Amino acid sequence: MAKIFAIAWKDALVRFASRSELLFFIILPLVFTFILGGGLTGGQDVDRRLRLLVTDEAASPLSADLLAALAKSETVQAEVLARAEAQREFDDRDASAWLTIPGDFSETLTLNVKTQPNDLNAQAAERAILAAAGEVGLANSAAQQSAAEAGRLRPFADEAERGRYLDEARTQAQALLADAPDRLEVTRAATPDRVPYDPGANSSAGQLITWVFIPLIGISALFAYERQQGTLRRLFTTPTERATYLLGTLGGQVAVALAQMTLLVLFGVFVMRLNWGQAPAALALMLIASALAAAALGTALGTVVKSEGQANGLSIMLGMVMALFGGCWYPIELFPEAVRTAVSVIPTKWAMQGLLDIVLRGQEVGGVLLEAGVLAGFAVVFFAIGVWRFHYE
Amino acid sequence: MPKILTLGLKDLTLAFRDRAALILMLLAPFILTLGLGFVTGRFSGGSQSGLSEIPVVIVNADADQLGDALADIFASEDLAELIAPTTVSDIAAARQQVLADEVAAAVIIPSGFTDAVLTGSSEIVRVEVHANPARPLSAGVVQAIVEEFLSRVQSGAVAGRVTIEQLVRTGRLAPQDAPAAAEEFAQRQSAPTTGAITLRRDEAIAEAQVEFDVLAYLAPAMALMFLMYTVGRGGATLLAERNAGTLARLLASPTSAAQVLGGKVFGIFLTGATQVGILILATTLMFGVRWGDWVGVVALVLAAAAAATGWGMLLAAFAKSPAQVGSVGAALMLIFAILGGSFGPNVPLPDWVSVIARLTPNKWGIDGFAALGSGNTLIDIVPNLFALLAMGAALFAVAVFVFRRQGLVK
């Protein structure tokens, strides 16, 4: 046991010999978790809606209704500006979309919108404009139908009479819509009172997996380094079993990874106010299973790489690719069905799923047994390959 | 000049012979671009997002006119690619499917829903969207579909009531004829689109956007991220040569320090430009990415490589060892990536961080590629080219100053 600790301690010393390792161990993971979780934009209390430039050239009751509807939007934050100012801000790419309410809006019922060409936020802004326009359009649509029906039964004396009729109908429709009972109820599974939904949780879990998997897969570089230096062969001239060496190396790196994950979880709990602590046993199970799977993958990889440089490159690439395809950077639901199925063969998918089960869906140990079991399976298979293919030179 | 060229070509050859470096220079950005292409729906029929075949379970306990209409919408041809609906009769079973993460949401249409809406009852009878919090985007789409349907239903009901009441009030309709007129109006009322507000895209922008390929944003975003790795690696080779003594040996030959440094800089620049060029060529051939004005693309690749080379030289000037360049360079690569938009344009950043992002080659490069991809030409990206070249020149000047102070071979 003393040898195992000695090997683990030696690896930790080697890894942290350079202070720059702290960048990857804790500083960058915290920075990325904080930024991607929206921490820089002020956490949960700050208005994170997309900025929408609006130029109101109509300044009519109808355009006022539209602005009021936009003000209620959960997606965009409308900012009314003069044309020249809005043009300048839009050209400077300070906003994703620019809505112009033209002077003849009340007659044409047409809005002009400009969106930035490379901006995914622009689509969301456009949808929000359509939703607000739809809300205002409801009353207008009802009024138009009413006026059309009235004109059909008895034509209006002149346009003024039609206009008055239309205004009255619109006012009545708006009142009716305001009083109409809400016909939609949105509930969220398993979450009431227990796990409030927070998109930051997704980035917290995703970054945790990304930053822990990369160095654990990087265990392969440790093996390659020792092989290149000849220290591995020298070590085995001493009375040290191969299993002792592997346990020491893996155990040490897994322990460091668990410490890293604990720090990231604590950061999530105390700084980002995420609900990581609602099922501590399940969380511990998932973190251990994830770390073992990643470390075993690093062990297996260590048997095929030829140099430390190759191992470093591969571990960074594999870590990033597996993080992306495992749903750690973007929700996995965005991938096509075939890809979602195919990525079941990578451990990050199961690690992410298990962590989201805990933090978003309120699952406890029983709810993450499948994910933890699959990760343990990965660990066994990769470790077996690592031991089987292990070589000194 | 031939010496600088020779030294540069030597570094280029060494970089592309290094299999370990090729993994991060070419393979990683290519696979990540592929993954991001999936996320954005680029490979799934050109839809705007990667969402497709969202599993939804529907419980139609209403089984009447409006309940059936809502269920039909989910099963309609228009939504066939987006939604994969199933139907169950048991509400508890539907909720269980959400809980088991089998579906993105359950749409529960309660018994008596049609009656409550058509009679204008204020009784609380609501359609429930039971959302799966682990699939927030998909659940949001389902919610939007239900909202749109209810909005149309609401509009029809209000239009009918307003029309009849106004007709009676203005004497166009006798009160006793109102029920029959309301029924007739409801039957005639098909799609209540009259009076609806429409959205018109600005024509110039719309024309430019038609052919925009999201990969023209994502591929350079990834290429520029790993370009920072390449220049960091280049800077590290300078220190490695200094430590190994080959730099001193080179300077003992009739080669000046300026030529050695120039050759090294040229080598890093050449390697970076070749890396990004290969990635652009590969994505063009394999995914048919539409990059826009090719002259602009070439100019932007060269300018981005120059700016990144400046960063690589600065790293080498201040670092004490190749390993330090490697680790700080990797950190810089990731920080520049998140600030400059390599991880996508939706990363929530405050204004002051967006200003800092202008110090990264990623920001200027990605903006330039996006502009070219959306129909702009070389003239339109002159500010980007100028910023990148100025960045490269300024950083190179600082690096030379530091090298002069400490001596190139010390």
A320-357, pLDDT tens digit by residue?
A: 999 999 999 888 888 887 888 899 999 999 999 999 88
CA distance B159 to A138: 9
Q: Which site among A138, A168, A204, A315 would you substitute to test the B interface, given the most B Cβ atoms closer than 10 Å to its Cβ? A: A138
Nearest-Cα residue of chain A relative to residue B210? A117
Nearest-Cα residue of chain B relative to residue A211? B334
A36–B338 CB contact, under 8 Å: yes
**Region for residue A97 given its phi and psi (left: phi exceeds 0; alpha: psi -120 to 50; beta: otherwise):** beta
The whole-angstrom distance between B229's CA and the closest CA on chain A is: 10
Once rounded to an integer, what is the mean pLDDT over residues B72-77?
A: 87
Once rounded to an integer, what is the mean pLDDT over residues A189-201?
A: 57
A142–B155 CB contact, under 8 Å: yes
The whole-angstrom distance between B387's CA and the closest CA on chain A is: 15
The whole-angstrom distance between B182's CA and the closest CA on chain A is: 11
Number of helices (H), then strands (E), belonging to chain B: the values are 17, 5
B146–A309 CB contact, under 8 Å: no
Evaluate if residue B242 carries a pLDDT over 60: yes
B130–A189 CB contact, under 8 Å: yes
Q: What tokens were used for A55?
A: 């130029």
Strands B105-109 and B54-60, bridge-based pairing: parallel
Higher pLDDT, A380 or B173: A380
- The distance from CA A61 to its chain's CA centroid, rounded to whole angstroms, is 40
A335–B345 CB contact, under 8 Å: no
Contacts of B331 in chain A (CB under 8 A): 20, 23-24, 28
Q: If pLDDT is split at 50, 70 and 90, which confidence band does B269 have?
A: very high
Q: Where are the beta strands (DSSP E) in B205-247?
A: none
The whole-angstrom distance between B364's CA and the closest CA on chain A is: 12
Contacts of B373 in chain A (CB under 8 A): 117-118
All structural domains of chain A with their residue ranges:
2-38+199-389, 46-177
Write the single-letter amino acid at B214. Answer: V
Nearest Cβ partner for B199 among A129, A148, A334: A129
Q: Which site among B23, B158, B213, B275 would you substitute to test the A interface, given the most A Cβ atoms closer than 10 Å to its Cβ? A: B158
Res A326: pLDDT: 93
Res A148: pLDDT: 85
CA distance B297 to B286: 18
Res A46: pLDDT: 56
Backbone angles phi, psi at B129, to 5 degrees: -105, 110
Nearest-Cα residue of chain A relative to residue B173? A153
A123 interface with B at CB cutoff 8 Å: yes
A156 interface with B at CB cutoff 8 Å: no
The whole-angstrom distance between A23's CA and the closest CA on chain B is: 7
CA distance A37 to B347: 9
Higher pLDDT, A79 or B250: A79
CA distance A236 to A347: 32
B219 interface with A at CB cutoff 8 Å: no
CA distance A99 to B199: 9
B210 interface with A at CB cutoff 8 Å: no
Nearest Cβ partner for B53 among A165, A337, A360: A337
- Report percent pLDDT > 70 for chain A: 91
HSE, CB side, 13 Å, CA atoms: give it for residue A344: 8
The winner for highest mean pLDDT among A133-142, B68-77, B129-138, B386-395 is B386-395
Neighbours of A266 (CB within 10 A): 12
Residue A273, classed as helix, strand or coil, is coil
A118–B158 CB contact, under 8 Å: no
Res B227: pLDDT: 93
Res A99: pLDDT: 92
- Residues for chain B: how many in total? 410
Nearest-Cα residue of chain B relative to residue A318? B28
Rg (CA), chain B: 31
**Region for residue A158 given its phi and psi (left: phi exceeds 0; alpha: psi -120 to 50; beta: otherwise):** beta
Residue A328, classed as helix, strand or coil, is coil
A141–B51 CB contact, under 8 Å: no
What is the tens place of the pLDDT at every residue in A81-94? Answer: 999 999 888 876 67
B404 interface with A at CB cutoff 8 Å: no
A155 interface with B at CB cutoff 8 Å: no
Q: In what order do the strands lie in the sheet with A97-101?
A: A76-80, A50-56, A97-101, A110-115, B198-201
The whole-angstrom distance between B199's CA and the closest CA on chain A is: 5
The winner for highest mean pLDDT among A381-385, B94-98, B302-306 is B302-306
- The distance from CA A326 to its chain's CA centroid, rounded to whole angstroms, is 12
B195 interface with A at CB cutoff 8 Å: yes
Write the single-letter amino acid at A136. Answer: V
- The distance from CA A125 to its chain's CA centroid, rounded to whole angstroms, is 19
Contacts of A130 in chain B (CB under 8 A): 199
The winner for highest mean pLDDT among A240-244, A363-367, B273-277 is B273-277
Residue B43, classed as helix, strand or coil, is coil
B136 interface with A at CB cutoff 8 Å: yes
Contacts of B32 in chain A (CB under 8 A): 320-321, 324
Which residues are within 8 A (CB) of B396 and not within 5 positions of it... i.e. 6 or more apart? B265, B309, B310, B313
Res A373: pLDDT: 96
Which range is least confidently modeled, A202-206, B281-285, B396-400?
A: A202-206
The whole-angstrom distance between B121's CA and the closest CA on chain A is: 9
Q: If pLDDT is split at 50, 70 and 90, which confidence band does B192 have?
A: very low
The winner for highest mean pLDDT among A115-124, A373-382, B198-207, B374-383 is A373-382
CA distance A113 to A87: 12
Evaluate if residue A19 carries a pLDDT over 60: yes
B373–A117 CB contact, under 8 Å: yes
Write the single-letter amino acid at B55. Answer: P
B77 interface with A at CB cutoff 8 Å: no
Res A119: pLDDT: 58
How is B263-288 classified by DSSP, letter by letter? HHHHHHHHHHHHHHHHHHHHHHHHH-
Evaluate if residue A198 carries a pLDDT over 70: no
Nearest Cβ partner for B338 among A32, A314, A339: A32
A136–B197 CB contact, under 8 Å: yes
Which range is least confidently modeled, A11-20, A76-85, B151-160, B194-203?
A: B194-203
Higher pLDDT, A389 or A43: A389
CA distance A254 to A215: 10
A85 interface with B at CB cutoff 8 Å: no
B50 interface with A at CB cutoff 8 Å: yes
B170 interface with A at CB cutoff 8 Å: yes
Contacts of B212 in chain A (CB under 8 A): 117-118
Evaluate if residue B225 carries a pLDDT over 90: yes
A270 interface with B at CB cutoff 8 Å: no
Res B273: pLDDT: 95
Q: If pLDDT is split at 50, 70 and 90, which confidence band does B204 have?
A: very low
Q: Which site among B91, B162, B194 would you substitute to test the A interface, given the most A Cβ atoms closer than 10 Å to its Cβ? A: B162
Once rounded to an integer, what is the mean pLDDT over residues B243-261?
A: 81
B59 interface with A at CB cutoff 8 Å: no
- Report percent pLDDT > 90 for chain B: 25
For residue A108, CA distances in Å to A162, B67, B92, B401 come to 16, 34, 48, 64
The whole-angstrom distance between B253's CA and the closest CA on chain A is: 31
CA distance A38 to B220: 25
A28–B122 CB contact, under 8 Å: no
Res B210: pLDDT: 45
Res A346: pLDDT: 94
Q: In B, residues 84-113, which contact A (CB 8 Å cutoff)? A: 95, 98-99, 101, 104, 113
What is the tens place of the pLDDT at every residue in B25-39? Answer: 899 999 998 888 888
Q: Tell which residue, B365, B49, B37, has the closest CA to residue B223.
A: B365
The whole-angstrom distance between B212's CA and the closest CA on chain A is: 7
Beta pairing partners, B204:
none
Contacts of A331 in chain B (CB under 8 A): 135-137
Fold assignment, A46-177: D-Maltodextrin-Binding Protein; domain 2 (3.40.190)
Q: If pLDDT is split at 50, 70 and 90, which confidence band does B195 have?
A: low
The whole-angstrom distance between B288's CA and the closest CA on chain A is: 18
Q: In A, residues 89-108, which contact B (CB 8 Å cutoff)? A: 93
Res A287: pLDDT: 95
Contacts of A188 in chain B (CB under 8 A): 130-133
Once rounded to an integer, what is the mean pLDDT over residues A363-379?
A: 93
The winner for highest mean pLDDT among A153-157, B87-91, B150-154 is B87-91
